[in-house]
């Protein structure tokens, strides 16, 4: 999957980017540290794309960061490319 992010943010340990809700071909990524003291096996780096059904802890095997894009490689072989489509301060 690949999309150009028109909005992004990072707050309280969670980050994400999307190409804005309501557009055709809507996509998003969400990621951050998750700590579950009652179920330590559920603690780690959480990553989700496009729907909560595509969310899991420690499913990322590699992250490549470049000036204009970020590529996430998942344990199941999927690759998600997020291109920067907004001003640098965002």
Give residue limits of the domains in the chain: 2-84
| pLDDT tens readout for residues 47-71 | 999 999 999 999 999 999 998 999 9
* C-alpha–C-alpha distance, residues 19 and 28, integer Å: 7
The low-confidence residues of the chain, meaning pLDDT below 70, are 22, 88-90
Strands 44-49 and 51-57, sheet pairing: antiparallel
Predicted model pTM: 0.84
């Amino acid at each position: 999957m690949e999309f150009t992010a028109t909005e992004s943010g990072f707050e309280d340990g969670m980050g994400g980017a999307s190409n804005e809700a309501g557009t055709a071909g809507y996509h998003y990524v969400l990621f951050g540290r998750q700590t579950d003291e009652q179920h330590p096996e559920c603690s780690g780096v959480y990553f989700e794309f496009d729907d909560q059904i595509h969310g899991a802890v420690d499913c990322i095997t590699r992250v490549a960061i470049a000036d204009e894009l970020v590529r996430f490689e998942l344990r199941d072989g999927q690759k998600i490319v997020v291109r920067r489509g907004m001003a640098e301060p965002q």
